[in-house]
Amino acid sequence: MSGGHAIRLGVSLYSFTNEFLGRSHDLPALLRETAARGLGPGVEAVGFQSFRSFPDVTEAEAGAFRDALAEAGLRPTCLGITADRFLQPGQAIADSELIEFHARQMRSAHRLGFPLVRFQHAATPAVIRALVPLAESLELRMGLEVHAPLFLDHPVILAYREMFEAVGSPLLGFIPDFGAAARAVPEVQTAYFRDVLGAPSRAVDRALFLWHDDNLQPLDRLTDFAAFCAAEGIDDRFRDEIALIFGIIGRGDPARWSEIMPQVFHLHAKFYDCDPQDGSDPAIDTAANLAPFLAAGWQGDLSSEWEGHVTSRGDGFAMVEAQQRYLATLLNPPARKAEV
Amino acid sequence: MLSDLLIEPDSLVATTTGLSLGLRLPWYQSLPLSTVRLSEVAVDGTPLSPAGLSFTLNGQTRPLTVMPGLTGEYWFVTDTLHLHLPLSGPRRGTDYLCRLRLQLFPPYAETLRRDNVGALRMRAR
């Protein structure tokens, strides 16, 4: 199963959102603890989370980060950048402005030492295409995150696939997020909605019903759920919290990652929970998501990405440790004893 | 869960002009100030007009009314924003119930909106 692959483990610092926002760890402390617990060597970050001077990272901040990485024996893998088209609610900026906004973030990624940026589908193919010359000059790869609620056959993703084909640049590719190919809504989330927020069960049940309806498009689920909440008198706060499941968890078929395999630059092993027995995530079948990459002998970096901070103040380091123990069993399964 | 961060515990300070309240950004990453909307601010049940409020962030104190125009300035995700609430006769050692609504419009998603309501009774320092 593991023959031929060269998947390198790492972590997204996004997994430690609780620690960072809770101020128990600043950025150097996150890197030190990542190294101490052996959760690298790959390190991914979100530009607007980790760096105060983003989107125009100063040389001082970039140098401090590169030094901290080197001291910890870690290696930068991927930097998340954003497509901030709506700097004022409801008012879109022009493509030319969005191109320049991406360019600033790409130059910062280069300054920080990242070889790859993860961009958002909201950028649009036209904007990303215009940035290819800059990517070439920076020797920076650009990966579209395939993230819920979209999957490989959504028109938005198809438009990127067509553009990538037309441009034919080795610097353009994909970053599959395993949360786009989940098997269930995380129980930790539904329990949070019911037990912590006190949301009515009928609202949670309706959302789960809609999430499982494969005949609905992402926007349809939101529209239907909003109409249900209005008709049932569900508080807007419950509506908005529960509707989050439509945006961060998708029902794609993980076997279909093979369709884009040659253009995959990096992997997000998104997870919410770890089974205490075997370490698997009940909501996201990590083994099924990894299978196409193992079978193809894919080479590259994988980031553990715990998103539990959405509903929990849990310990991100402990969660990533648990997932990486599980990942190790998938990537390097013990040799079977010869059958007699 | 992030909305629990909104009002920073033990952040209430009595000043010469009223109260200063510490707020945290209830989001996973920094946001432009133009995508943050503060409203429905009340102390002990008495609403305060946003037009009379000011805030301190990034080393500057400005009226709250300028916030929607600050498209190029960010609220760094671990920073505290200090909201200044005009109040006559603020007293140290007195408990005040502070309540407010903070809406976020993350700029990378046209339809994404997060509505956070925070309420906390605190003793002014």
Structure tokens at A10: 């790492």
Q: Using CB atoms, which residue from A48, A85, A313 is nearest to B29? A: A48
Tell me the count of A-B CB pairs closer than 8 A. Answer: 79
* A238-290 confidence digits (pLDDT tens): 998 899 899 889 999 999 999 999 999 999 999 999 988 888 999 999 999 99
Question: Between the CA of residue A238 and those of A136, A220, A223, what are the distances in Å?
Answer: 46, 18, 15
A59 pLDDT above the threshold of 90: yes
Question: CB distance B34–A87 less than 8 Å?
Answer: yes
Q: Which pLDDT does position A1 carry in this prediction? A: 42
A6-186+250-331: in CATH 3.40.50.720: no
- CA-nearest residue to B37 within chain A is A89
Question: CB distance A86–B108 less than 8 Å?
Answer: yes
CA distance A294 to chain B (A): 32
Q: Which pLDDT does position A82 carry in this prediction? A: 98
Question: CB distance B77–A84 less than 8 Å?
Answer: no
SS3 label, residue A116: strand
- Could you tell me what percent of chain A has a pLDDT over 90? 89
A336 pLDDT above the threshold of 80: no
Question: Once rounded to an integer, what is the mean pLDDT over residues B29-43?
Answer: 96
Question: CB distance B108–A85 less than 8 Å?
Answer: yes
Q: What are the residue numbers of the active site of A? A: 147
CA distance B54 to chain A (A): 20
Question: CB distance B71–A309 less than 8 Å?
Answer: no
How many domains in chain B?
Answer: 1
Residue-by-residue DSSP string for A152-203: TTSHHHHHHHHHHHHH--TTEEEEEBGGGB-SS--HHHHHIIIIIS---HHH
Considering only CB atoms, which residues of chain A are within 8 Å of chain B?
A: 14, 17, 20-21, 23, 26, 46, 48-49, 52, 54, 82-90, 92, 120, 122, 192, 196, 222, 236-237, 240, 247, 309-313
Structure tokens at A145: 């995150």
For B83, the domain range is: 2-123
Question: Once rounded to an integer, what is the mean pLDDT over residues A293-321?
Answer: 95
* B40-61 confidence digits (pLDDT tens): 999 999 999 989 999 999 999 9
Amino acid at A317: F
Structure tokens at B14: 């009595």
Q: Where are the domains of chain A?
A: 6-186+250-331, 187-248
**45-84 of B, contacting A, C-beta below 8 A:** 68, 71, 74, 76-78
* A138-158 confidence digits (pLDDT tens): 999 999 999 999 999 999 999
Q: What angle do CA A177, A181, A184 make, to 5 degrees?
A: 120
**What ipTM does the predicted assembly reach?**
0.96
CA distance B17 to chain A (A): 30
What CATH number does the domain containing B61 carry? Answer: 2.60.40
Q: N- to C-terminal Cα distance for chain A? A: 21
Residues A82 and A48: beta-carbon distance below 8 Å: yes
Distance CA A123, CA A86 (A): 11
